[in-house]
Chain A
Amino acid sequence: MVYEDFSPPEGARVIETCAGLVWREDGLVYESIRVTHIELEHARGLVHGIRELVGPNIRSRLVTDMRSTRWVSADARTYSAGEEMRSIVEAGAIVVGSPVSRVLASFFVRVTAPPFPVRLFTSREAAEAWHAEVGVAASAK
Chain B
Amino acid sequence: MSSDPRLEAIIEQLQRFASGDLAFRGEMSDGHDELDAIIVGLNMLADDFLVHQTRSRAVIQDMAELFERAPVMLFALDLASGSVLKANETMIERHGPAERDVVGTPLRDHVVPMAREAYAEALARVRAGSDIRDCELTLRCAQGGEYVGLLSATVVDDTHRRARCTLVDIEDRRQLESQLLQAQKMEAVGRLAGGVAHDFNNLLTVISNHTELARMSLPPDGEAAEDLAVVLDASAKAAALTGQLLAFSRRQIIRPKVLQLNELVEHTHRMLARLLGENVDVVLVLDPDCWPVRIDSGQFERILVNLAVNARDAMPNGGKLTIETENVSLDDEYARTHAEVVPGDYVMLAVTDNGEGMAEDVTAHVFEPFFTTKAAGSGTGLGLATCYGIVRQAGGHIWVYSELDRGTSFKIYLPRVRRPAESLPDDEDASATRGGGTETILVLEDDPRVRAITARILGTAGYTVLEASTGDEARAHFDVATVDLLVTDVVLSETTGRKVAESLRAVAPTLRVVYVSGYTDNSIVHHGVLDPGVDFLPKPFRVAQLLEIVRTALDRR
Contact = CB atoms under 8 A, between A and B. Distances in A.
B40 A70 contact: yes
A111 interface: yes
A79 interface: no
Nearest to A67: B32
A100 B28 CA distance: 10
Contact of A107 (B28, B32, B38, B41): B41
A71 B40 contact: yes
Interface string A94-136: 0001111111100100010000000000000000000000000
Interface stretch (B44-52, B56-64, B194-202): B44-52
Nearest to A102: B37
Interface string B18-47: 000000000010001110111011011001
Contact of B41 (A74, A78, A103): A103
A73 interface: yes
Nearest to A98: B32
How would you classify the secondary structure of chain A's contact residues: helix, strand, loop or mixed? helix
B218 to A, nearest CB: 100
A104 B44 contact: yes
A98 B31 CA distance: 9
Interface string B201-230: 000000000000000000000000000000
B40 A103 contact: yes
B110 to A, nearest CB: 48
B6 to A, nearest CB: 12
Interface in A55-75: 70-74
B37 A74 contact: no
Contacts of B32: 70, 97-101
A99 B48 contact: no
B24 to A, nearest CB: 16
Contacts of B51: 74, 78
Interface size class of A (residues with CB under 8 A): 10 to 19
A138 B44 CA distance: 34
Nearest to B34: A99
Contacts of A74: 44, 47-48, 50-51
A99 B44 contact: no
A73 to B, nearest CB: 7
B48 A100 contact: no
A100 B47 contact: no
B40 A111 contact: no
Contact of A104 (B34, B40, B48, B50): B40
A97 B48 CA distance: 23
Among A72, A99, A104, find the residue whose CB has the most chain B CB atoms closer than 10 A: A99
Nearest to A78: B51
Nearest to B44: A107
Contacts of B50: 74
B37 A98 contact: yes
Contacts of A97: 32
Nearest to B28: A70
Contacts of A78: 51
Interface string A71-85: 111100010000000
> Which of A71, A72, A74, A102 neighbours the largest number of chain B CB atoms within 10 Å of its CB?
A74
B356 to A, nearest CB: 72
Contacts of B37: 98-100, 102-103
Nearest to A68: B32
Interface in B97-153: none
Nearest to A107: B44
Contacts of B41: 103, 107
A100 B36 contact: yes
Nearest to B41: A103
A42 to B, nearest CB: 16
A74 to B, nearest CB: 4
Interface in B264-310: none
Most chain A C-beta atoms within 10 Å of own C-beta, residue among B33, B37, B48: B37
Given A70-B28, A74-B51, A98 B44 contact: no
Contacts of A100: 28, 32-33, 36-37, 40
B36 A111 contact: no
Interface in A19-70: 70
Interface string B500-520: 000000000000000000000
Interface of B: 28, 32-34, 36-38, 40-41, 43-44, 47-48, 50-51
Q: Which 7 A-B pairs have the closest CB atoms?
A: A98-B32, A99-B37, A74-B47, A103-B37, A103-B41, A100-B37, A99-B34
Given A103-B41, A111-B48, 19 more contacts: A70-B28, A70-B40, A73-B47, A74-B47, A78-B51, A98-B32, A98-B36, A99-B33, A99-B36, A99-B37, A100-B28, A100-B32, A100-B37, A100-B40, A102-B37, A103-B40, A104-B40, A107-B44, A111-B44
10 contacts: A70-B28, A71-B28, A73-B47, A74-B44, A78-B51, A99-B34, A100-B33, A103-B37, A107-B41, A111-B44
